[in-house]
Amino acid sequence: MDCIFCAIAGNAIPATKVYEEDQILAFMDINPANPGHLLVIPKRHYRNIFDIDAETAGKIMQVGTQLASAIKTALNPDGLNLLQSSESAAFQTVFHFHLHLIPRWEDDTLVLPWKPQQGDINQIAEVADKIRQHIQ
Ligand code: 5GP
Ligand code: ZN
C-alpha cells in the first residue's frame, strides 16, 4: 500500500518523532500551522474516523492528552486545537488516521473555518433524532 504514514510508522521514511509506544506514534507535521504542530497516529493503517475502532481511537486521545500537556509546558501556548479530518470533504489529505495537535497563540493567523450562525431549532432537533436512531 502506498501510504506515507505507514512508511513513517515502518521507518521506511524519516520523520521528527516525539513519542512512540507499541501501537502509537507521534511526530512533527512537516507543514506546521504553528510551531509545535504534531500528529498522533496508530501504527496500523486505518483510513479515518469511519474506519478506526473506538479502542485504538481512545489510545490516540490518551497520548494526545499527554502530548498537549508537554506542549503546554514546553511552548507555553495560549491554547491548542485538536483536529481530525475524515475524507477530503473534511480537509483530509493523508488517508491514514491522524489527530492534529496545534498549539495556538492569541496573535496567530489561524481562523475558524465556519461562521457561527444561529440554527433553526426544529431542524436541529430533527437531525438529532436521525442520529440518535443509529447509535450502536
Ligand atoms: P490532513 O490534511 O489529512 O488532516 O493532514 C495531513 C497532514 O500531514 C498535513 O498537515 C501535512 O502537512 C502532513 N504531512 C503530509 N506529508 C507528511 C510527511 O511526509 N511528513 C510529515 N511529518 N507530515 C506530513
Ligand atoms: Zn497508512
First-to-last C-alpha distance (Å) of the chain = 31
Q: In this predicted model, what pLDDT tens digit does every residue of 106-133 receive, in sequence order? A: 999 999 999 999 999 999 999 999 999 9
* Tens digits of residue pLDDT in 26-58: 999 999 999 999 999 999 999 999 999 999 999
State the cell numbers at 86.
Answer: 475524515
Residue 19 above 70 pLDDT? yes
- 98 an active-site residue? yes
Give the SS3 label for residue 79. strand
Q: Can you tell me the distance from the alpha carbon of 70 to that of 76, in angstroms, rounded to the nearest whole number?
A: 9
Work out which ligand 1 atom sits closest to the CA atom of 13: 19
17 lines ligand 1 (CB under 6 A): no
The backbone region for 66, taken as left when phi is positive above 0, alpha when psi lies in -120 to 50, beta otherwise, is alpha
Question: For residue 85, which atom of ligand 1 is closest to its CA?
Answer: 4
Phi-psi region of 91 (alpha: psi -120 to 50; beta: other; left: phi over 0): left
Q: For atom 6 of ligand 1, which residue has the closest CA?
A: 94
DSSP 88: G
Q: Ligand 2 centre and the CA of 66: distance in Å?
A: 23
Residue pLDDT, tens place only, 74-110: 999 999 999 999 999 999 999 999 999 999 999 999 9
